[in-house]
Homo-oligomer: A and B are copies of this chain.
Amino acid sequence: MSTVYNFNAGPAVLPRSVILKAQEELADYKGCGYSILEESHRAKAFEEVIQAAEANIRQLMGISDDYAVLFLQGGASMQFAQVPMNLMVPGKKVGAADTGEWAHKAIKELKIQNADIDLIYDGSANHYKTIGDASQWKIDPNDAYVHICANNTIYGTEYQTFPETGDIPLVADMSSDIMSRVVDVNKFALIYAGAQKNMGPSGVTLVIIRKDLAERCPATVPTMLRYTTHIEKQSLFNTPPTFGIYIIRLVTDWMLAKGGIAAIQKVNEAKAELLYNAIDNSGFFRGTCDKADRSKMNVTFRIGDGDEELEKKFVAEAKAAGFVGLKGHRAVGGLRASIYNAMPFDGVMELVKFMKDFASKN
């Protein structure tokens, strides 16, 4: 098997050592005689897994006891609905920043729930090329909460500063940059993230929520959709996605062994710098976003002003050379390299070499 570098936007590359460990343990989990896939979620062996996964995440992100750490299902798309169901307050607006496709979809769900929206930023007019200094945004002091999407997977932008919401709870979708950089969790009332980019396989949603905020939920919300249900039962109200949580445990073990988020952030910055420099200095490729707001996770670019034929050729030749997943999202086209935590520095270096070679030949 020759080396393949996987630049998929999610589900995405996982640390090779995690995949190999999961493979080694798959048929007989720690000598129990069967697979972790077959283990009861009430068994001691799985309790150890979920508790270790939570402890790892708390340690990595510096999460205090004021917050619950939950493993739910349904991805960010479910959170778009679940957050307003739990946190909306009659007579109050919901602050929302429209910085990309997922932020926009979250706003759409707010509208379905008849929320009165305080649109604190509208990036649709400039095709989501920029975010700007979010710390300067004006927030209605009467907002029930404010929702943002920290990294825009499709458009390739990422918040460099966060809005200053004061006492207003700040809610962030961090699906595509969770644990990729040091973030002060205390600035947020709720953070959620689908696992399939920086943490594990698809099918698990991490929710970090300030416990006092969860109490806001009206009595009419179904049991499964109330955060309080899962806080009380420590994510074991019903059968959780056990295998996904097991992989998250292995990935967070790997992150701790790498030196934690601060150390991983440095590598992420170096990877992003290398790739963006290669784009900017190529005279061939062109970044799609304002430089100041560029994402360190999803690097979006075009060939020239968007030469679709040549981009198609690039994707095909890259794949043949062992670089997969470089096609841009179908909503915007172009090219995209997702360089999450588990993408090794070497992968970006090899990609840059390939890009230079491709540019010189075309």
A residues neighboring B (CB under 8 Å): 1-4, 6, 8-14, 19-20, 22-23, 26-28, 31-35, 37-43, 73-78, 80-81, 85, 108-109, 112-114, 194, 196, 200-204, 219-225, 237-244, 247, 322, 324-325, 330
Contact = CB atoms under 8 A, between A and B. Distances in A.
Contact of A39 (B8, B108, B330): B8
B31 A1 contact: yes
A74 B73 contact: yes
B27 A239 contact: no
A73 B322 CA distance: 33
Contacts of A219: 112
A181 to B, nearest CB: 22
A8 to B, nearest CB: 4
B77 A238 contact: yes
Contacts of A10: 40, 239
A23 B27 contact: yes
Given A33-B322, A35-B19, A109-B223, A11 B242 contact: yes
A14 B225 CA distance: 30
Nearest to A237: B77
B241 A244 contact: yes
Q: Which of A203, A324, A325, A330 has the most CB of B within 10 A?
A: A203
B81 A3 contact: no
14 contacts: A4-B32, A12-B40, A19-B38, A33-B324, A73-B75, A74-B78, A74-B224, A77-B223, A77-B238, A112-B219, A113-B220, A196-B239, A201-B241, A202-B241
Contacts of A76: 238
A175 B279 CA distance: 52
A134 B34 CA distance: 38
A31 B43 CA distance: 35
